[in-house]
Amino acid sequence: MHPKKEIAWEAVQLVDEAKRQVANEAAMMVNDGQILGLGTGSTSHYFIQKLGNRIMEEELDIMGIPTSYQSFFLARDCKIPITTLDEHLPDLAVDGADEVDPQLNLIKGGGAAHTLEKIVDSAADKFLVIVDESKKVEKLGDFPVPLEVIPSAYRPVTEQVKAAGGVPSLRMAQMKDGPVITDNNNFVVDVQFKEIPNPKELEIELNSIPGVVENGVFAGIADQVLIATSNGVESIKKP
């Protein structure tokens, strides 16, 4: 089952409005001349749309580096000039998250894009996270940690994950029979842990399993988080 949180339909529109609000606020923080990392997911979707509007209306000179096919196609539709990490490093990356803890550690990868997201977000001078309040947690770990796994390594990876105390589950596709295949042609294994006492240690441990391309723990990478709450947008900066 896809790990994104199930929420009641009545709440969907409120959450959606919160995502739009926080995304718009982030888009207003962008300065002319910047190179931007463009995150993936529904919150990033609103960010990319608002950015496209600003570029058109204010004639800004901005280029984007997408973190997935999703953000690439959307950025192109919004007429955002595209560049690559080969040509430019981002001044600012703006991306969503599935969980954010008080130290600004994250779990990402609900959209299976965490490998390129981590590459682009870490390469940026500043990494800004945009979330609605439902993503705020005291401790990471209710959301399973996504691993991007080379298909031929699926079996040994799951054995090692179990030995590390995790419960692995192969993410299955919707509207396609069989597993999700990432933008990099790999599987996604979602791993539920009872607890994550040390996100950085877990991030390193999971990436040391042969066949794991990247995992969805983003420890110590985020510089600032904008959270849409019922009282407006809250900002938390890395101490």
Between CA 40 and CA 110 the distance in angstroms is: 9
Active site residue 99: no
Residue showing tokens 């995790």: 166
* Closest to 42 (Cα-Cα) out of 121, 111, 108, 107: 111
- Tell whether residue 41 is a contact of ligand 5RP (CB under 6 A): yes
Between CA 98 and CA 222 the distance in angstroms is: 13
Between CA 215 and CA 201 the distance in angstroms is: 12
- Tell whether residue 39 is a contact of ligand 5RP (CB under 6 A): yes
Q: How would you label 119-148 residue by residue, b for 16+ Cβ within 10 Å and e otherwise?
A: ebbeebebbbbbbbebbbbeebbebbbbbb
- Tell whether residue 105 is a contact of ligand 5RP (CB under 6 A): no
- Tell whether residue 96 is a contact of ligand 5RP (CB under 6 A): yes
User: In this complex, which beta carbon is closest to ligand 5RP, that of residue 14 or of residue 60?
Assistant: 14
HSE (side-chain half, CA atoms, 13 Å) at 115: 18
Q: Which stretch binds ligand 5RP (CB under 6 A): 78-86, 112-120, 165-173, 180-188?
A: 112-120
Q: Which stretch binds ligand 5RP (CB under 6 A): 57-65, 105-113, 195-203, 224-232?
A: 105-113
Q: Which stretch binds ligand 5RP (CB under 6 A): 106-114, 154-162, 203-211, 227-235?
A: 106-114
* Closest to 114 (Cα-Cα) out of 64, 14, 39: 39
* Closest to 114 (Cα-Cα) out of 169, 201, 44, 161: 44
User: In this complex, which beta carbon is closest to ligand 5RP, that of residue 60 or of residue 181?
Assistant: 181
Residue showing tokens 């599987």: 187
Site string for ligand 5RP, 114-143 (x = CB under 6 A): x--x--------------------------
The sign of the dihedral angle between the CA atoms of 213, 218, 221, 227 is positive
User: In this complex, which beta carbon is closest to ligand 5RP, that of residue 95 or of residue 101?
Assistant: 95
The catalytic residue among 10, 58, 87, 117 is 117
Q: Which of 2, 25, 29, 42 binds ligand 5RP (CB under 6 A)?
A: 42
Structure tokens at 178: 């069989």
Q: Which stretch binds ligand 5RP (CB under 6 A): 29-37, 39-47, 160-168, 197-205?
A: 39-47
Interface with ligand 5RP by CB under 6 A: which residues? 39-44, 95-98, 108-114, 117
